[in-house]
Amino acid sequence: MLYLVDQQRTGAVKEEIRRIDPAYPVFVDAILDGVIQGDLYVDHRDHPCVYFAGMTTDIYYVAGKTEAALSLCSTFIVDVYKKQKRDNRRFTLFSANPASDEMMKKCFGSQLNEMQRHAYSYDLTSPDLIVPDQDEMIKRTNEQVIAASKVFPSSYYEAYWGGVDHFLSNGVGVAILNGEDVVSECISIFLSEKRVEIDIWTDEACRGKGLALLAAQQMISICVEKGKTPHWDCDVHHAASAKLAEKLGFHWTKTYRLFYASR
C-alpha cells in the first residue's frame, strides 16, 4: 500500500529522494512545488523506502532504497499502468536506479519499451556565460511563437504543462526567428522553484549554423538570472545533443532508464 504525501512535507521528501537518486527528475520537484499537477506516494508515512510520483499528464517516477522494498509496492505501479492502458492513455516512467530498473523489468517483462538517457546539470557557479547579441532574431516564447512552432505546438504544452496559459504564466522559453518562421526553440519542458529541464529543437534545414547553441545560451542566461539550475536530458544515442550539452557547460550526472508503453 502507498500513501499520499502531504504537501507540508515536501522539503524533507526532496532530501529523502535525493539520498536515493541525487539527480532525480525536475518534474518531481515541479509536482512537490505545486508548479504542475501531480501526486507523490510513499510506502510508509514516517519512514518511507519507496517514492512514486505521477503527473496528471501521465508521466511517472519511482525510486526505492532496495529492490525488496520496491517489490512490495509493485502491485500499485502495475495497477496504474493497467488503468492507463484501459483508458488508452500513455504510461512513461522514469526509473531512479538499478533497483527500480530490476523491479520494472520483473513486473512488466516485454510489456514496456525501455530506453537509456543521459542526464546533465549546469553549475550556477560557472563563469558568466557570454551570450551573443542577436536580439532581432530572438523572441521569448509567447502565443504567436507557439502558434508558429513546428515542434512545440499547443498540444505539447497540454501534455507537459496542462495547457498553454499555465506555461506562459510559469514556464520559460526562447525562439529564434527567420522572418516569421520559427527555426529554433529552447523551452522549459519542466520547471520547479529551483530547477529547469530544457527541451530544444532546430529546423533540419537550419542545422549547423549555431542556432541551437544560441537558443540554449539565451535560455541558460534566463535560468541563471532567475537562480534556477538548468538541466538537460537526451537519449544515449543522441551524440549531437550530448556534445551540445557539454559545449554549453553542462556536466553529466547520471545515465538512467525510462520505461514506456506503446499506444
Architecture of domain 138-254: 3-Layer(aba) Sandwich (3.40)
The domains of the chain are located at 3-111, 138-254
- Whether 3-111 shares its CATH topology with 138-254 is answered yes
pLDDT band at 161 (very low <50, low <70, confident <90, very high): very high
Q: What is the mean pLDDT of residues 90-96?
A: 97
Q: Smallest Cα–Cα separation from 210: which of 240, 252, 249?
A: 240
Tell me the pLDDT band of 125, cut-offs 50, 70 and 90. confident
Dist. CA 156–CA 188, nearest whole Å: 11
Task: Report pLDDT digits (tens) over 170-205.
Answer: 999 999 998 889 999 999 999 999 999 999 999 998
The pTM (predicted TM-score) of the whole model is: 0.93
CATH 1.10.3470 correct for 3-111: no
pLDDT band of residue 259 (cuts 50, 70, 90) is very high
